[in-house]
Each structure stands twice: as structure tokens, then as C-alpha cells.
Structure 1
């Protein structure tokens, strides 16, 4: 009988260096709202999403790439010089189909590049919006997996950890899981899965974004499988896994 692959959870980008990423699949998790927006744009027909850290690079690519849309926020507001924000609601099929979304984020983009620098095999992105696609993919690949929570400015946050817990709860029989971060994530998710919407309103990030009137976005971001495609990172771009 073949040995099962391992699964670990990194609760923050600041902890990623403590995890062996060599030849592993890293799932980048940034529930509020980057990875929810990425899956939504691709589900609604975007050709690709290009995640970048720097605003200047986002603007440059927007000028160079045909049919590109530039997007990004800081503190809940669209960045000056960019066209759109980080709300999934901004990317319906009628608008985004066939276009390239160039998206600047802080936490998720940073984590993605860190993962490759540390030798991971590949990167996919996940949130509640594409929970089933993430779970199906990582179980079918039979590779070691690291669930990478983007957190907030290198700090732990609950919404990303809850999603990690949801993944673990579904795939736990297919992996060797022996780390306390994964145990905690699964237990928190199991404890609150039936009242997730109510519980998650206690989180710091919810309060921060709700202050900008983004409650509808936040509810969308914890809705299971509402944009159920798998974004996979290839050649600097996130595309739908086929």
C-alpha cells in the first residue's frame, strides 16, 4: 500500500518558512477577498488573472496587455490609477468574459511568490467559493499539500483558517495530518460550520471591511462553491485548471 501524502497548514506568511514546501502543492487562501475574487473572475469567463504585488506593475501590465482590466484596493478603496476594486461583485460574466484581470493584492500575492521561492511544485488558490474544486484537485494529485493562509499583515486571521479547516474536514482520510495548526483549523470549522455566517462576523477583517459597506461581498465569500473552478498558477498567470 502506498504511503499517503502529507498535509500541513501554515497560519500566516510569517510561518511559511517553517514548512517543507519542496515538491508540494500550495493552496493560497485569502478569503476576504482576493482568492474569492480570482475564482469568481475565472468562473465568469476571464481568460486569466495576473496577480502582482506592486501597483506600478499592475498599471504597466494594464497598458501592455490587450483587453486587460486593472484592479486593486488598499484599506477597502480602489487604488488611484487602477480601474476596479477587489470585490467579486465587480466581475460578472457580462463584464469580465474574455478579459485579463491584473490584480494587485498585498497578502495573497506575497504568499504566492514566497511559495515558489521555497521550491513548491505548484500553486492553486482557494476560498469557500471553490471549496469542492480545491478538495477534488489535491486528493487526485497524490502530492504533499500545504494550506497557506494569507492572514493580515503577517498576522493570523480566522476566515482563512476556517477555510483550511473546511478543506481538511473533507480530505483528512486521504492525507497524513499531524500538525496542530491543521487540527485547530478543522476543529474550529467543525464547531462553527452550521453557523458560519454568524460566527465569522466576529472576525477583525469582517469588521474592517464591513465599515466600508462590504457586507454583501463578505457573505458571498463564505458561500460554498458559488464559483467552483480551480485557479492554477502557470507562467505568471492564474488560469482555470482543465
Structure 2
């Protein structure tokens, strides 16, 4: 197959490697499966007006006061003292979040999002909005960087699994000349029929399970239960028209 006219698709396995990629030319997909980008998809699918990602607890509190938004976030899997809510996608049903602004800070996902400033576009991806992400990227036909939030710059399993799922679906439409993308695709093919069993072996699962958050993990690994496309515009993530 000729690749002359196809845009590139690459996987960045850690924020520490982002400087090696051509961010300004690309759509960057922020991936933080457990749990930030799953929570963002859940909140927007359930009618949140916007999600404002911030990179510190102080900025979260300040932005919440300025916007009248709900403040939420975690550090190391735990709700941060001083914030109103946590980083669980199950905390934001339509009956609670519809029409509201959510201001969110997390250990890894919102940090990567801010590091990606200057990208051609920024969207967020997770299994709950897998098809929405793939459909959007296919339609845009621009270079793509699948950016894994990882865990404090260390590669993690669940983000690579999602990157592999996207790379697999988009392979016919993109030039995938990236060993990380190929490895992620192989990983996804190996575990696609039982993602939960794979992620149960992951270090981040152990952190969340210790807080009794297994139900969160199952939600975060369920494809297309929050089919929305979060697009960053003017510092806020909003559901793009589909």
C-alpha cells in the first residue's frame, strides 16, 4: 500500500518523550484511561457545558471561583483536600453535571494536556469514547500523535492499550511508521477480548483497587459508553458537533 498521501500516526508513550514529536503540525490525542480522559468523556456526554483542565490544585480552586465551576481532581488516585469532587467518571451522571462547568486537575492527564499546548488541535481519548475519536481523526486527515499520559513519566499498560486500539482501527487511513504504535497495536490485539484481565496486572490498577475503585476501572475499559468528542477550545474542553 502506498503511503504518499496519508497523514502520519505516531504514539508517544510518555510525556517525557513529547519533545521528540512534531506537536505543532499534529492533532494530539490526550490519553489517560485511568481516569482523567474517561471522566472528561463521561461528564461531557452527560451534558457538562465544559471541562476546564488545569495543572495544579491552586489553579483548580482559583478557576472554580472565577467560573462558578465545580472543582475536582486527584493526586496519586486520591481526592485532593480543598476540592469538591474526585476523578471518577461515575461521579458525573446527567442528573448532576448537565449544564455545569467542571474544573479538573489530575496527576498525569491534565499535565500532559498543558504540555501539548501549541498542537494543531487537542482532543481527549479513552475507551468510553473510542469510536468518536477514531471517526474524528479519520475525517480530519491530519497528522496524529496519540499521547499517553503514563504515570509520572513512566509508561503504563492501559494508555498503551487504548493507543493500540486507535492505531489498529486507523491503520488503513494513516501511515503508521512508528515502532511504539506497532507495539501498542500488538498489545491491544493480544488483550482486546479481555481488557480488564490485562489491566488487573497493571500497577495503576493496584492503586485504584486499594481505594475500592474497581467499578471505575471497568467503566474506563468499556468501549463507546460515552460517545462524545472532547475538543480543546480557548482553554476548555467541549463536546464537538458530530
For normalisation by structure 2, the TM-score amounts to 0.96
Distance 1:162 1:17 in 2: 22
Unaligned 5+ residue runs, structure 1? none
SS in 2 for 1:223: coil
Q: What do the CA deviations read for 1:65-120 (whole angstroms, capped 9, x no partner)?
A: 13x1100112322111110000011100000000000001121112112212xx42
Distance 2:126 2:157 in 1: 13
SS in 2 for 1:22: helix
Match of 1:222 in 2: 221
Distance 1:111 1:213 in 2: 26
Which of 28, 31, 34 is matched with 1:29 structurally? 31
1:166-205, aligned counterparts within 5 Å?
A: 166-205=165-204
Match of 2:238 in 1: 239
Match of 1:113 in 2: 114
**Where has structure 1 moved over 6 Å in runs of 4 or more?**
none
Size of the aligned set, in residue pairs, is 239
Q: CA deviation at 1:178?
A: 0.9
Does 1:12 pair with 2:14? yes
1:1-242, aligned counterparts within 5 Å?
A: 3-66=5-68, 68-116=69-117, 119-242=118-241
For normalisation by structure 1, the TM-score amounts to 0.96
SS in 1 for 2:83: coil
Distance 1:76 1:181 in 2: 27
Q: CA deviation at 1:143?
A: 0.3
Distance 1:174 1:239 in 2: 26
SS in 1 for 2:84: coil
Distance 1:181 1:192 in 2: 17
Q: CA deviation at 1:220?
A: 0.3
Distance 2:167 2:24 in 1: 20
Aligned CA RMSD, in angstroms, stands at 1.1
